[in-house]
């Protein structure tokens, strides 16, 4: 069999739709979804809501839009949102939090994506005087992208949810990869999502859909998200073509993530003893492997790696991220292990 040009570990966003998805897309019954006429979108949204354990769900074009809309609806402009210092919402969503949403970020540093409980409590503000903005929301990220695909413990989430309820705060989950978290914990995804008022998850990452994310929550909340989705230009017409792939993402692709986790571990173990890099094996829980370079800079490392047919993504000057997914097989992992060895030689 001909070897593919590149083994692409840059992200699970690079996954191509499966053959089954392409067939379902070709056959999808569609209608104008802005007018509420698309039966395939309705089916996807019902399935998503049921799977996540929420009253209602809505299909949106991207994770960034899903998070932005959730925060627009749940947070009141000029109030504060508590979120982890390295969170995707705060760092990698084009500044939407300030550009569109108008919440004041109250970022809290953490070692692994779990903000210290005491720090959260200290930072919840009640508006005692009119010049003090109150806190209205907390957002968590699970799995946590910057922290190497780390999984937040159920005990931690439960504790945060209790704090949110006690303080009347909306709790949002950036669950772009929440099915990876559920797979790692070996629990039904609802064990995670039941603690949140709103959940965003992506169909277009490890779940292989070409486009799309879901926002789920209470019916009233989702109606408001729908309103804002239209304002943002995210009202889509015969989008059942994409929803057809999303249905397969939820029904099938959520069940195979263990394979990606196994391959991430294979890669990490294969390179862990190399000189010139550090890999913390304990932190490899899901489909990410974070590689810290001792001397070489990430740019040079990645250029050389590419010459050996392997792609990954820089996370800082000295840190590189490898992600496993449906289009990475054992051969790709062996190739990755070998290519990294040659680059470090």
- Output 69 or 268, the one with its CB closest to ligand TLP: 69
Asked if residue 268 lies in contact with residue 281, where contact means CB atoms within 8 angstroms, the answer is: yes
Task: Find where tokens 């304990």 sit.
Answer: 282
Report if residue 91 touches ligand TLP, rule: CB under 6 A: no
- Output 56 or 67, the one with its CB closest to ligand TLP: 67
Report if residue 286 touches ligand TLP, rule: CB under 6 A: no
- Chain position whose Cβ is nearest to ligand TLP: 63
- Selected binder of ligand TLP within 80, 174, 260, 332 (CB under 6 A): 174
Report if residue 13 touches ligand TLP, rule: CB under 6 A: yes
Report if residue 153 touches ligand TLP, rule: CB under 6 A: no
Sign of torsion, CA 70 76 78 84?
negative
Q: Which stretch binds ligand TLP (CB under 6 A): 44-52, 56-64, 78-86, 217-225?
A: 56-64
Task: Find where tokens 């979108």 sit.
Answer: 41
* HEC per residue, the chain: CCCCCCEECCCHHHCCCCHHHHHHHHHCCCCCHHHCCCHHHHHHHHHHHHHHCCCEEEEECCHHHHHHHHHHHHCCCCCEEEEECCCHHHHCCCCHHHHHHCCEEEEECCCCCCCCHHHHHHHCCCCCCCCCCCEEEEEEECCECCCCCECCCHHHHHHHHHHHHHCCCEEEEECCCHHHHHHHHCCCCHHHHCCCCEEEEECCCCCCCCCCEEEEECHHHHHHHHHHHHHCCCCCCCCHHHHHHHHHHHHCHHHHHHHHHHHHHHHHHHHCCCCCEECCHHHCCCCEEEEEECCCCHHHHHHHHHHCCEECEECCCCEEEEECCCCCCHHHHHHHHHHHHHHHC
Report if residue 11 touches ligand TLP, rule: CB under 6 A: yes
For ligand TLP (CB under 6 A), the number of binding residues is 15
Residue environment code for 241-252, b if the CB has 16+ CB neighbours within 10 A, otherwise e: bbbbbbbbbbee
Report if residue 63 touches ligand TLP, rule: CB under 6 A: yes
CB of residue 64 to ligand TLP, shortest distance in Å: 3
- Selected binder of ligand TLP within 96, 209, 213, 324 (CB under 6 A): 213
Report if residue 114 touches ligand TLP, rule: CB under 6 A: no
- Selected binder of ligand TLP within 176, 178, 222, 271 (CB under 6 A): 176
Report if residue 64 touches ligand TLP, rule: CB under 6 A: yes
- Output 184 or 344, the one with its CB closest to ligand TLP: 184
Sign of torsion, CA 275 278 279 280?
positive
Report if residue 88 touches ligand TLP, rule: CB under 6 A: yes
CB of residue 238 to ligand TLP, shortest distance in Å: 21
Bridge partners of 289, per DSSP, are 322
Report if residue 51 touches ligand TLP, rule: CB under 6 A: no
- Output 15 or 67, the one with its CB closest to ligand TLP: 67
CB of residue 139 to ligand TLP, shortest distance in Å: 10
- Output 145 or 161, the one with its CB closest to ligand TLP: 145
Spatial separation of the C-alpha atoms in residues 158 and 104, rounded to whole Å: 25
Report if residue 180 touches ligand TLP, rule: CB under 6 A: no
- Selected binder of ligand TLP within 22, 37, 39, 62 (CB under 6 A): 62
CB of residue 148 to ligand TLP, shortest distance in Å: 11
Report if residue 98 touches ligand TLP, rule: CB under 6 A: no
Report if residue 202 touches ligand TLP, rule: CB under 6 A: yes
- Selected binder of ligand TLP within 141, 197, 260, 332 (CB under 6 A): 141
Binding region for ligand TLP (CB under 6 A): 11, 13, 62-64, 67, 88, 92, 141, 145, 174, 176, 202, 204, 213
């Amino acid at each position: 069999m001909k070897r593919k040009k590149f083994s692409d570990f840059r992200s699970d966003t690079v996954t191509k739709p499966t053959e089954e998805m392409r067939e379902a897309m070709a056959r999808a019954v569609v209608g104008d979804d802005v007018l509420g006429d698309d039966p395939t979108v309705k089916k996807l949204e019902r399935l998503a809501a049921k799977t996540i354990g929420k009253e209602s769900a809505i299909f949106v074009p991207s994770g960034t839009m899903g998070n932005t809309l959730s925060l627009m609806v749940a947070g009141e402009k000029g109030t504060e949102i508590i979120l982890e210092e390295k969170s995707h919402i705060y760092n990698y969503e084009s500044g939407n939090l300030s550009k569109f949403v108008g919440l004041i970020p109250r970022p809290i540093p953490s070692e692994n994506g779990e903000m210290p409980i005491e720090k959260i409590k200290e930072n919840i503000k009640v508006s005692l005087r009119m010049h003090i903005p109150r806190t209205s929301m907390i957002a968590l990220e699970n799995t946590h992208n910057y922290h190497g695909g780390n999984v937040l413990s159920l005990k931690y989430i439960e504790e945060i949810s209790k704090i949110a309820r006690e303080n009347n705060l909306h709790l949002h989950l950036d669950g772009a990869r929440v099915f990876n978290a559920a797979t790692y914990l070996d629990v039904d995804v609802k064990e995670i999502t039941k603690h949140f008022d709103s959940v965003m998850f992506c169909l277009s990452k490890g779940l292989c859909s070409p486009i799309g994310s879901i926002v789920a929550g209470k019916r009233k909340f989702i109606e408001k998200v729908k309103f804002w989705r239209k304002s943002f230009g995210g009202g889509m017409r015969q989008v059942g073509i994409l929803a057809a792939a999303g249905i397969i993402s939820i029904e099938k692709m959520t069940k195979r993530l263990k394979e990606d986790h196994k391959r991430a571990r294979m890669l990490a173990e294969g390179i862990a003893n190399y000189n010139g890099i550090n890999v913390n094996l304990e932190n490899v829980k899901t489909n990410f492997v974070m590689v810290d370079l001792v001397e070489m800079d990430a740019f040079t490392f990645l250029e050389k790696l590419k010459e050996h047919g392997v792609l990954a993504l820089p996370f800082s000057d000295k840190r590189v991220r490898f992600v496993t997914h449906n289009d990475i097989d054992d051969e790709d992992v062996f190739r990755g292990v070998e290519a990294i060895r040659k680059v470090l030689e």
